[in-house]
């Protein structure tokens, strides 16, 4: 008898406002976008676990299952349900985008894996229940995480999010966004450590910046709903200045942000995510050939990433 495959997918995500401050229980805003990661689980009749992915392959057994560095979020998702697994499985990860671009790849693969695993185990979880499990899994891997990218990947669309008390609200809005990759990425965990090092004994100033970032995000919520792109763009610009005050900017990110602001279709621009590389995001549209601007930028890997907001969050394919 042919065994059923269990398939789930989750979208890539972008942080729009509230970076870093969200770790300290301020509101943040993120969205799901039109690239997905899919997890396919094929149950086995033995206790072998076989993981196949573009970034590496691994084979182990249920008894020996542990977090594997190269496949940390996949293995941690399986490990969370280790005691409930009815047998071994082959889990295949299919990506529509590279993890080197950011775009919440860690969140998307975690959500897709957990959704497929819970289908296999016949667990019916609400979106919030799935979010709580996914957050625990990510914390097992990287020790610190706000959970906002997980929430955007699960719920889809544009969301506002607070870590404590946990709250997720979908915002009915569909702005045009322009995304430019800066050519390099620094992990979230390392970025958080670098920001902490920047302030050392000036924690009161760091806290004040987070309060201002939180204020920007609170002001932005009704502007998304009202489609007031002019005022929202101004908040993007202010928020970018606060991210640079945290020390998360780079020379190249600044060049990209200010070039975006010069484009006639852009209302505002800022760093998207933890900074120290990663992406810059513009509120509005740019011409398809705006970046890279020259040969040097092309060599550095700077490029536009076409994106649209995805209203679909996690999907269980049956």
What is d(CA 163, CA 254) in angstroms, rounded to the nearest whole number? Answer: 29
- Tell me where in the chain the CATH 3.30.230.10 domain(s) lie: 6-173+311-317
Average pLDDT in the chain: 95
What is d(CA 271, CA 15) in angstroms, rounded to the nearest whole number? Answer: 9
DSSP, collapsed to helix, strand or coil, labels residue 191 as: helix
Q: Which CATH class is domain 6-173+311-317?
A: alpha beta
Contact predicate 244/253, CB 8 Å: no
Band of the pLDDT at 11, cuts 50, 70, 90?
very high
Whether the predicted pLDDT of 175 surpasses 60 = yes
* pLDDT number for residue 1: 41
Q: What is the pLDDT of residues 83-93, one digit of tens each?
A: 999 999 999 99
Whether the predicted pLDDT of 2 surpasses 60 = no
71-91 burial, b at 16+ Cβ within 10 Å, e below that, comes to bbbbbbbbbbbeeebeebbbb
Q: Which residues contact 262 (CB under 8 A, 6 or more apart)?
A: none
| Model pTM score | 0.95
Q: What is the pLDDT of residues 120-130, one digit of tens each?
A: 999 999 999 99
Q: Which CATH class is domain 177-305?
A: alpha beta
Residue found by looking up tokens 């049956």 in the block? 318
Taking alpha carbons only, the member of 8, 58, 14, 20 closest to residue 34 is 14
- Other CB atoms within 10 A of residue 156 CB: 23
What is d(CA 87, CA 205) in angstroms, rounded to the nearest whole number? Answer: 52
**89-93, 239-243, 293-297: which range is least confident on average?**
293-297
Cross-strand bridge partners of residue 93: 39
Expressed in percent and rounded to 5, the helix, strand and coil fractions of the chain are 40, 25, 30
- Tell me where in the chain the CATH 3.30.70.890 domain(s) lie: 177-305
Mean pLDDT of 184-210: 90
* pLDDT number for residue 84: 97
* pLDDT number for residue 318: 75
The strand ranges marked E within 186-278 are 266-272
Q: DSSP letter at 309?
A: B
């Amino acid at each position: 008898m042919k065994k059923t495959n269990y398939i789930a997918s989750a979208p890539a995500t972008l942080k729009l406002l509230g970076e870093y401050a969200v770790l300290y229980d301020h509101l943040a805003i993120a969205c799901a976008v039109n690239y997905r990661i899919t997890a396919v689980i094929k149950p086995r009749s033995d206790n072998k676990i076989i993981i196949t992915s573009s970034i590496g392959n691994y084979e182990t057994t249920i008894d020996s299952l542990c977090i594997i560095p190269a496949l940390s979020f996949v293995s941690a998702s399986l490990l969370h349900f280790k005691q409930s697994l009815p047998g071994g499985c082959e889990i295949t990860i299919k990506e529509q985008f590279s993890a080197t671009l950011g775009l919440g790849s860690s969140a998307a693969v975690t959500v897709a894996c957990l959704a497929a695993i819970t289908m296999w185990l016949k667990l019916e979880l609400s979106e919030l229940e799935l979010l709580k499990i996914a957050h625990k899994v990510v914390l097992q891997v990287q020790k610190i995480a706000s959970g906002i990218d997980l929430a955007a990947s699960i719920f889809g669309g544009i969301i506002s999010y607070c870590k404590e008390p946990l709250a997720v609200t979908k915002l009915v809005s569909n702005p045009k966004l322009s995304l430019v990759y800066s050519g390099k990425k620094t992990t979230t965990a390392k970025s958080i450590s670098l920001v902490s090092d920047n302030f050392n004994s000036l924690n009161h100033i760091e806290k004040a910046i987070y309060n201002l970032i939180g204020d920007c995000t609170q002001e932005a919520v009704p502007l998304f709903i009202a489609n007031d792109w002019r005022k929202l763009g101004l908040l993007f610009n202010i928020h970018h200045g606060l991210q640079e005050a945290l020390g998360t900017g780079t020379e190249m990110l600044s060049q990209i942000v200010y070039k975006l602001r010069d484009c006639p279709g852009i209302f505002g621009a800022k760093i998207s995510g933890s900074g120290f590389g990663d992406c810059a995001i513009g509120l509005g549209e740019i011409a398809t050939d705006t970046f890279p601007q020259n040969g040097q930028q092309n060599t550095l890997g700077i490029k536009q990433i076409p994106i649209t907001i995805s209203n679909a969050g996690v999907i269980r394919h049956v």
